[in-house]
Amino acid sequence: MKKRILLLAGGQSGEHEVSLMSARSVLAALPRDQFDVTPVVISKQGRWLPPTDTARALETGVSVPGGDLVLHRAASAEGYDAVFPLLHGPMGEDGTIQGLLTLAGIPFVGSGVLGSAVSMDKVMTKQVLASAGIPQVAWRLAVRREWGQAPDTVRARAAELGFPLFVKPANLGSSVGISKVRGLDELDAALTLAFSLDRRVILEAMTAHKPREVEVGILGNDAPVASPVGELSFGAEFYDYTTKYTEGQATMHIPAPLPPEVAARVRELGLAAFRALDCAGLARVDFFYVEETGELLLNEVNTMPGFTTTSMYPKLFEAAGLSYSELVTRLVELALERR
């Protein structure tokens, strides 16, 4: 019997288009002799689009508004064996969809409510990983109300970390709303931007030197495995949205040219983070490596990383001998095993 898979894509976050690209690749790669795949694109307004609009969105990369209410469609999703929620960012990667699917009793690819929600929030992630003894940059939390009512306390908190520092919405991805702040004069604009996107904002110290950015893929449930380590290099000052999504602005190196003991440590810390956050299925764990000091600092954990055929996560497992199509098949198997 073929397994019936519901592939969810698009979604309400700023990473809607990225998700559509990933979904197109997954749709093409799930072996048709094993799976019967139904894609559903979720509009930016959060409505589940009917088949014609879904097909058009996947084809053109642009989705129309309209569509059914979420809960109505979730009820009919009971006819599926598993759901692949290929959604990035808030309302997709953050435990919301995962909660809905858990309530409906349908197995799904990736982390559950807890792992998704904690990993989505950069502050919660840091708190959990700190208690697991995983090295990270120094950071502070600020909430919108403080910024509105006592901006000087927020500015003072930032100054404690020193400049340059990074200001980020706590619950986003793709570098949306992130600023590198070189001095006090740039701080207010960065905070205003971040608070326009999230109630919670994280302030992060930067290492003394521009760090190298290395990433590892984790695959599995309670006995996860780590991929080889990859590295991203780019000319921009940091890995911002334009650098991420403009062809030719960043280069992927697999395996990363690292001393073997550093690569081993990346894999080990990646697995430790996956376990500490109660992730499942897959995650891409990203690190800063400061070559000058040998420091390795965990930056973030992405529970639904970019998934086109040229994205880092699938490329890392391809280097380990698992083809893109074998990888997506494995992810569905892992979802069914977790039942």
User: 82, 107 in Cβ contact below 8 A?
Assistant: yes
The question of whether 270 is a catalytic residue gets the answer no
Catalytic residue among 99, 245, 275, 333: 245
Q: CA-CA distance, 54 to 67, in Å (whole number)?
A: 10
Strand order in the sheet with 281-290: 250-253, 225-234, 212-220, 281-290, 295-302
Closer residue to Mg ion (CB): 13 or 329: 13
Q: How far is the CB of 308 from ligand ADP (least distance, A)?
A: 16
Neighbours of 133 (CB within 10 A): 9
The question of whether 326 is a catalytic residue gets the answer no
User: 286, 300 in Cβ contact below 8 A?
Assistant: yes
Angle separating helix axes 113-120 and 96-104, nearest 10 degrees: 170
Tokens 């911002």: give the residue: 240
Site string for ligand ADP, 245-284 (x = CB under 6 A): ----------------------------------------
The question of whether 67 is a catalytic residue gets the answer no
The question of whether 324 is a catalytic residue gets the answer no
178: partner contacted, choices Mg ion, ligand ADP, none (Cβ within 5-8 A by kind):
ligand ADP
Q: CA-CA distance, 143 to 317, in Å (whole number)?
A: 38
**Among 48, 108, 147, 239, contact with ligand ADP (rule: CB under 6 A):** 239
Residue 302 touching Mg ion (CB under 5 A): yes
Residue 300 touching ligand ADP (CB under 6 A): yes
What is the sign, positive or negative, of the torsion defined by CA atoms of 95, 98, 102, 103?
positive
What is the sign, positive or negative, of the torsion defined by CA atoms of 162, 164, 169, 172?
negative
Residues in the chain: 339
Q: Which stretch binds ligand ADP (CB under 6 A): 90-98, 148-156, 169-177, 245-253?
A: 169-177
Neighbours of 243 (CB within 10 A): 16
Site string for Mg ion, 80-119 (x = CB under 5 A): ----------------------------------------
In this structure, what is the dihedral angle of CA atoms 118, 124, 125, 126, given to the nearest 10 degrees?
Answer: -170
204: partner contacted, choices Mg ion, ligand ADP, none (Cβ within 5-8 A by kind):
ligand ADP
Buried residues in 158-194 as b, exposed as e (16+ CB within 10 A): beebebebbbbbbbbbbbbbbbebeeeebbeebbebb
Residue 173 touching ligand ADP (CB under 6 A): yes
**Among 15, 53, 213, 215, contact with ligand ADP (rule: CB under 6 A):** 213
The question of whether 281 is a catalytic residue gets the answer no
Q: Which stretch binds Mg ion (CB under 5 A): 46-54, 55-63, 110-118, 299-307?
A: 299-307
Residue 19 touching Mg ion (CB under 5 A): no
Catalytic residue among 13, 14, 15, 173: 15
- Residues at the contact surface with Mg ion, assessed by CB under 5 A: 173, 300, 302
- Residues at the contact surface with ligand ADP, assessed by CB under 6 A: 137, 166, 168, 172-175, 178, 204, 206, 211, 213, 238-239, 286, 288, 299-300
The residues that are catalytic are 15, 174, 245, 284, 286, 300, 302, 306
